[in-house]
Structure 1
Amino acid sequence: MIKILVRVWLVLSLVAVCVATDASGYKVTRKYPVPGDGGFDYIVFDGSSNRLYVSHGTEVNVLDANSGKVLGNIENTPGVHGTAIVPNLHRGFVTDGGNATVTVFDANSLKTLKTISVDKDPDFVFYDPQTKRVFVCHGDAAEITAIDPEKEEVVGKITLGGGAEAAVVDGKGNGFVNLEELAEVANFDPRALTVKQKWPITGCKTPTGLAIDSTNRRLFIGCRSKVLAVMDATNGKVITTVPIGERVDAVAFDPDDKLIFASNWDGTVSVIHQKSVDEYESVGDIQTQKSAKTMAFDAKTKRLFLSAADMESAPAANGRARMRPKPGTFNVLVVERQ
């Protein structure tokens, strides 16, 4: 009898795993191999050109999003983190953490136009079409730098009091940025370059990825404490938290299907359904590849793109074990709905 019960339990467990895995209807359909070795960080999809900008080693690899063909590289970007594209100017801006600069490049030729010096640790970067500014989030410098993309120069800074991770804007005069060590969200004015207020992210430690539902005024915050926090963007109240995978780094929101995606280093993308403005439920995980924690979302085709590589042990630094990408294994995963 005990053996029968154990077998039934195992079958039910397997069914539950399958349901959780396939519930979202998404899976990895293709892998784009990318030459070169070295670490990797943000991956960015540009809908105006159907291109992927992939941070990799000391350069940005530029890929055709449909075929995976490498179209070229933006070189000499030491400690590269992220890329922001300004479509109407055909210019891109790359954060170089290794030498505290922002590389400006021509999006057509991929040639470097200028290098802008900024404060230390430039990381996440994005373009705000409302203010027509590029914003650079700094970790160690604990600030946001605003750049005029047409003049290619710094026009101001926002002092945050804590290291900045991902940021979003709502198109209505509000910006929001995760403060990683403080576990707070700073609400800032992207035009006046001032902090309006700060809110603690209740139930969250080490916030990283961030997405926004501008219509319903909800922020979706990926936390390294293995939860996604849902925050009211009008008052900072955390409405709920939902379990996600380990070492989340990016969050995306699909307003059409009411789905939130959180990409995790453990080889999963956690998928959460927005049942209503204040009701959220997990609908399972998409199985990807261990290390695939950075993600880009194509809102038109509903594709997800993730950077990943096989990992191997590296010599310890400061007595701490480290992992590094295995040479020749770097690729971009394409996740699509079936």
Structure 2
Amino acid sequence: MRRFTLGAALAVFALAAANVAHARSGYRLEAAVTLNGPSPGWDYLSVDPTRDYVFIGRRKAGVTVYDAAGGRVVATIENSKDANVAALVPEVDRGFTANEDGSTTVFQLSTLKTLDRVKLGEGADAGFYEPMTGQMVFTLGDTHELVFVAARSAKITGRLPIKADELEAAAADGKGFIYVNERDKDRVAKVDVRTRKLVAEWPTPGCRLPTGLAIDRAAGRLFLGCKGPHPVLAVMNAKTGRVVTTMEIGRGNDGVVFDPAGKRVFTSNGIDGNIVVFDVVGPDRLKLASAFTTRPIARTMAFNPTTGRIYTATAEGVLDPTQPVNRRAGAFYPNRYLDDTFTLLIYAPE
């Protein structure tokens, strides 16, 4: 009869613990919340983790603020019609929308009260905060430029022309630089926000149509969600601009999130209706952690680092062949969404 040694017992315990951790690497649907309204449209989501408030850029309906802990809508940001996103800046108690008419709605984050609506230019798509300089950076694809705004005063501080039609997601490194996807050019722009100058433009070999973007500030790595014919998550060295690896993801990516505490990257992929999750096991190495289904067209996402919850959104859509179709997104991508079908999806770790 073999003796069951302490070493063997510890090995069994470690294996069991690893199996438990693996089993908990997935996510489950915790809630699907329908928010009524005509002809729904939406883009980015963001989270205030201190209150677990989800800010949803619902375009015509403005920004809806949903209390995930209380399970209710707490506000619609006044004068935020046509908003694509609400960027949150708790350091100065402010939030900034990016509105399709080229303006930003400035509101107080603590009270959700609107303070002003400031014209920036034409066709604002998104806005991102750069903490070292205290500036918001807005992407304006229609006029091919970035617009810089002081977060405390909401005053425009400068502009930077960028020769790209599709300026997508951006990420700040915390050292005064911001990186912006130039989707139509298959490039990433590196911008010095202090001087408001273009430092570099890097090609993205193996990555077509870079859209989603996140950053690992400690390791100096960018994560690019590439929604081309062969969709991948590309990892780029933020110092050299070299793509160091790619990993397969689902079709229709618009959102990439990095969790620095858990060392994980999440990609939301609307056409395939899934979220693919990777563990970061080294600066240049990812490992597939899990993938789980969401719903079709759930393409953008937000992550609450305090609770581990993931938020995404969708609606029931139809394709009318007599109307323009976004064939770059997909041959049968909806061009109309049905009234009262917009749904916030909340996923919790298992």
> Which TM-score band applies after superposition, normalised by the shorter structure?
0.7 to 0.9
The answer as to whether partners of 2:317 and 2:338 remain within 8 angstroms in 1 is: yes
Equivalent position of 1:17 in the other structure: none
Identity %: 34
Residues 220-231 of structure 1 correspond to what in structure 2 (within 5 A)? 220-225=223-228, 226-231=231-236
Is 1:254 aligned to 2:259, yes or no?
yes
Equivalent position of 2:243 in the other structure: 238
User: In structure 2, how many angstroms separate the alpha carbons of the residues matched to 1:23 and 1:137?
Assistant: 38
Equivalent position of 1:284 in the other structure: 290
Measured after TM superposition, the shift of residue 205 of structure 1 is 1.0
AA matched with 1:68:
G
- Partner SS for 1:204: coil
Residues 299-314 of structure 1 correspond to what in structure 2 (within 5 A)? 299-314=305-320
User: In structure 2, how many angstroms separate the alpha carbons of the residues matched to 1:108 and 1:324?
Assistant: 35
AA matched with 1:158:
L
Measured after TM superposition, the shift of residue 318 of structure 1 is 4.0
Measured after TM superposition, the shift of residue 124 of structure 1 is 1.6
Query: CA 1:172–1:288 in 2, change beyond 3 Å: closer, same or farther?
Result: same
Equivalent position of 2:15 in the other structure: none
User: In structure 1, how many angstroms separate the alpha carbons of the residues matched to 2:24 and 2:269?
Assistant: 18
The size of the alignment, in residue pairs, is: 317
User: In structure 1, how many angstroms separate the alpha carbons of the residues matched to 2:266 and 2:90?
Assistant: 25
User: In structure 1, how many angstroms separate the alpha carbons of the residues matched to 2:255 and 2:124?
Assistant: 17
Of 300, 310, 322, the match for 1:316 = 322
The answer as to whether partners of 2:168 and 2:182 remain within 8 angstroms in 1 is: yes
User: In structure 2, how many angstroms separate the alpha carbons of the residues matched to 1:293 and 1:181?
Assistant: 18
CA RMSD of aligned residues (A): 2.0
User: In structure 1, how many angstroms separate the alpha carbons of the residues matched to 2:192 and 2:68?
Assistant: 33
- Partner SS for 1:131: coil
Equivalent position of 2:275 in the other structure: 269
Measured after TM superposition, the shift of residue 91 of structure 1 is 2.2
User: In structure 2, how many angstroms separate the alpha carbons of the residues matched to 1:215 and 1:232?
Assistant: 12
Equivalent position of 1:9 in the other structure: none
The answer as to whether partners of 1:24 and 1:286 remain within 8 angstroms in 2 is: no
Measured after TM superposition, the shift of residue 63 of structure 1 is 0.9
The answer as to whether partners of 1:23 and 1:284 remain within 8 angstroms in 2 is: no
Runs ≥4 residues deviating over 6 A: none
- Partner SS for 1:181: helix
Greater Cα offset, 274-283 or 115-124: 274-283
User: In structure 2, how many angstroms separate the alpha carbons of the residues matched to 1:208 and 1:68?
Assistant: 31
CA displacement 1:23-79 (0-9 Å, x = unmatched): 841121212222223211111111244311111142110111223310010244343
CA displacement 1:130-151 (0-9 Å, x = unmatched): 2111111122222211111222
The answer as to whether partners of 1:45 and 1:298 remain within 8 angstroms in 2 is: yes
Measured after TM superposition, the shift of residue 153 of structure 1 is 1.5
Query: CA 1:177–1:259 in 2, change beyond 3 Å: closer, same or farther?
Result: same
Any unmatched runs of 5+ in structure 2? 1-22, 327-331
Q: Which has the higher strand share?
A: 1
Measured after TM superposition, the shift of residue 279 of structure 1 is 1.4
Of 38, 41, 45, the match for 1:39 = 41
Measured after TM superposition, the shift of residue 112 of structure 1 is 2.6
The answer as to whether partners of 1:44 and 1:52 remain within 8 angstroms in 2 is: yes
Under a length normalisation based on structure 1, what TM-score does the superposition of the two structures give?
0.88
Equivalent position of 1:15 in the other structure: none
User: In structure 1, how many angstroms separate the alpha carbons of the residues matched to 2:124 and 2:115?
Assistant: 19
Equivalent position of 1:7 in the other structure: none
Is 1:186 aligned to 2:189, yes or no?
yes
Under a length normalisation based on structure 2, what TM-score does the superposition of the two structures give?
0.85
User: In structure 2, how many angstroms separate the alpha carbons of the residues matched to 1:50 and 1:164?
Assistant: 29
Any unmatched runs of 5+ in structure 1? 1-21
User: In structure 1, how many angstroms separate the alpha carbons of the residues matched to 2:325 and 2:294?
Assistant: 30
Query: CA 1:64–1:236 in 2, change beyond 3 Å: closer, same or farther?
Result: same
- Partner SS for 1:316: coil
